[in-house]
Amino acid sequence: MAQFNEMYQGTGVRPPYARLDDWVAAMPQELRSLKQAEAEALFRRIGITFAVYGEGGDPDRLIPFDMFPRVFSAAEWAKLEKGIKQRARALNAFLVDVYGRGEIIRAGRIPGRLVYQNEAYEKAVAGFVPPKGVYSHIVGIDIVRTGPDEFFVLEDNCRTPSGVSYMLESREIMMRMFPDLFRENRIEPVDGYSEKLRRTLASVAPKKCKGEPTVVILTPGHFNSAYYEHSLLADLMGVELVEGQDLFVDGEYCWMRTTEGPRRVDVIYRRIDDAYLDPLCFRPDSMLGIPGLMDVYRSGGVSICSAPGAGVADDKAVYTYVPEMVRFYLGEEPILNNVPTWQCGKADDLKYVLEKLPELVVKEVHGSGGYGMLVGPKCSRDEVERFRAKIVENPGNYIAQPTLALSSVPTFVEEGVAPRHVDLRPYCLVGERIELVPGGLTRVALKEGSLVVNSSQGGGVKDTWVLAE
């Protein structure tokens, strides 16, 4: 399989990486080890630990950081940005539609079953339109690259995609360790993210809110693997970080306990799942949420970001239909393509998948974190056969995709510098406006040849550069 190296083409260096060639050549092994140790110490000092949404694993583990940056040219990014924003618009239009009249289903463009019988579809918000018609305020879109101009969306994350703290901290640390690099290259800043996020959240305050909205971040607590990120974002935005017990419902509003008495809350950026938000509406045994919150929300007293029910748009079976959403709601052709996907629940697709199994990647519909998946070409015959049995037993639970030749970026490894496969998760902000900071989180599969970038499967992170014009 021909693999696209984002830096080296034969003996040449692609223009975005031009200056990095000298940089790495001029860095002796000793200095590199020193810098690597310094980076690790910095990460440890900040106390950043990390788990991408639903990945599980040890919450206190440090994710490996690779100092070799991943670089996009201004032109490459311009196209990506357009594609990402287009997708985020379509996903939100879809959410408003399926909690409203369901035109896309009436038009026969997506099966109603996939939407209405989806675990993530919340009947409780049927008929409710959140402020500005936005359900997913932070859309994390996982993108892979296979060639100079070939980008594919692997999955969408419409609920509470995490990892943005790694984007911010990686940059911070790179700037501290290699200030020269940032003088020599014109790199678009990412530190505007927190202000953009604050503005996005404030822009979806309920109509009833007059004046400057009070925004809070709702966290499940310090035991959560992304707690560091919750507290970092609260700090950077200058808003309160709260747990369920800090909030309560009284009258038509939600309030925060403060030392100066109750303060009304207008926008809740929640980092807990729908099921735990309100024991009076969802799981009655939830201790993390706020009793009565959903009544206040549905009567327009408070905004919740992402809106309850947003998860129905990022299901792996619904994913197949996102290009259709772009055409249906926006009347445009999708700029970013999906990876061709076969639904094992469909008889024809299943037949094809079973035939080509050793060549395919197979995933569980509701799975995440790189668990429970098959990467055909990397597996033994036995493993493939065992997986085949699982698919046959419950075909509807699986989707399959071709094994993509993921692009690679030079990465520091034991022996020096070697190409490793990467993906990209940009964070698109949707409120009154749609905004995107240039870059995102680049995850890198540190194991040689590995195509799985998830941190739970031995993945690391890189600083992601977008060069100015």
178 binds other proteins (CB under 8 A): no
Strands laid side by side in the 360-364 sheet: 342-343, 398-402, 360-364, 374-375
Q: Is residue 128 at the binding interface for other proteins, with CB under 8 A as the rule?
A: yes
Q: Which CB, 255 or 329, lies closer to other proteins?
A: 255
- SS3 state of residue 352: helix
Under rule CB under 8 A, residue 121 binds other proteins = yes
Is there binding between residue 208 and other proteins (CB under 8 A)? no
CB of 290 or CB of 441, closer to other proteins: 290
SS3 417: strand
In whole angstroms, give the CA distance from residue 429 to residue 78: 16
- Least distance from other proteins to the Cβ atom of residue 293, Å: 9
Task: Note whether 295 binds other proteins by CB under 8 A.
Answer: yes
Single residue of 4, 8, 23, 116 touching other proteins by CB under 8 A: 116
- Taking the complex as a whole, the smallest distance from the CB of residue 120 to other proteins amounts, in Å, to 11
Among 248, 373, 379, 447, contact with other proteins (rule: CB under 8 A): 248
Out of 284, 348, 381, 469, the only residue in the binding site for other proteins (CB under 8 A) is 284
Contacts of residue 134, defined as CB under 8 A and 6 or more positions apart, other chains included, come to 92, 204, 307, 430, 431
- First-to-last alpha carbon distance for the chain, in angstroms, is 33
Sequence-ordered list of residues with C-beta below 8 angstroms from that of 100, at least 6 positions apart, any chain: 127, 129
112 binds other proteins (CB under 8 A): yes
What is the spatial distance between Cα 90 and Cα 134, in angstroms, rounded to a whole number? 11
DSSP 24: H
Contact between 407 and 435 (Cβ < 8 Å): no
How near is the Cβ of 89 to other proteins at its closest, in Å?
23
In whole angstroms, the minimum distance from the beta carbon of 200 to other proteins comes to 25
- Residue of the chain from 57, 59, 64, 102 that contacts other proteins (CB under 8 A): 102
Q: How far is Cα 159 from Cα 53, in angstroms, rounded to an integer?
A: 9
Helix (H, G, I), strand (E, B) or coil at 126: coil
Determine if 384 is a binding residue for other proteins (CB under 8 A): no
What residue ranges bind other proteins (CB under 8 A)?
A: 99-102, 105, 112-113, 116-117, 119, 121, 123-128, 248-252, 279-281, 284, 291-292, 294-296, 298-299, 301
